[in-house]
Amino acid sequence: MTTVLITGASSGLGAEMARQMAALGHDLALAARRTGRLEELRDEIENAHPECRVEIRALDVNNDDQVFEVFRAFRDDFGTIDRIIVNAGLGKGAPIGTGRYDANKATAMTNFVAALAQCEAAMEIFRAQKAGHLVMISSMSAMRGMPKTITTYAATKAGVAALAEGIRHEMAGEPGLAIDVSVIYPGYIRSEMNEHVKKPMPFMVDTPTGVAAMVEAIEKRKPHARVPSWPWVPMGTVLRHAPLPVVRKLT
């Protein structure tokens, strides 16, 4: 049975990925800051899927030492970790130069620096096992520099994607290592992170629908996937190549 470690698993996309991965028969290692929510999620999954083993641990991904400790502890619990999904993230931010460097720095530290720590801890385990599947949750905003409140967020998600591609590039040249790397670019999926946004977003889907598309791409171990595929596969090409005035109207 495959063991999947998910960070940021207490709510939103992370919690729903846990539910859907459990339904596919995977054992779960779930980590987040809010252990009360993790306990509720564990009980829910175990009731729905008694055959599924679920272990939980508190994790603040901005605590580098704790990232390594928790990942290694999960590895010891199960004996092996087959897939690690770097999902924990932060969505706050402000236009650059408007006095909210604190918010932008917090987003940068959580979404990129903490993701780097998670990659280090994950790849340490996978290199020792000589196998594994690293999954990075990016965003369609990574396709292009974005304005206003999501400038920093988009930059961190582009950084996450580049980090994953670099690891994939290295693994392709390492004989004897069966380590896959996937980058998932979700489009607009309703979740706890964006529920405060009042402006209606085009092509928004509910959490179960959006996560189902994410899980399908992860299960296929795709190197990269824009999800849901409609409209985000063609939209990603537009976002990446269209003139900025056009991109501005779409975001």
Summarize pLDDT for 114-156 with one digit per residue, the tens.
Answer: 999 999 999 999 999 999 999 999 999 999 889 899 999 999 9
Q: Which of 101, 153, 185, 188 is catalytic?
A: 153
Q: Which of 58, 2, 4, 66 is nearest to 32 (CA)?
A: 58
**What pTM did the predictor assign?**
0.93
153 is a catalytic site residue: yes
Task: Tell me the chain's radius of gyration from C-alpha atoms.
Answer: 18
* Domain interval for residue 245: 3-250
Number of domains the chain is built from: 1
CATH code, 197: 3.40.50.720
> How far is it, in rounded angstroms, from Cα 29 to Cα 200?
34
Residue 195 has pLDDT above 70, yes or no: no
Residue 196 has pLDDT above 80, yes or no: no
What pLDDT does 239 receive?
83
Residue 46 has pLDDT above 80, yes or no: yes
> How far is it, in rounded angstroms, from Cα 134 to Cα 122?
7
> How far is it, in rounded angstroms, from Cα 57 to Cα 28?
11
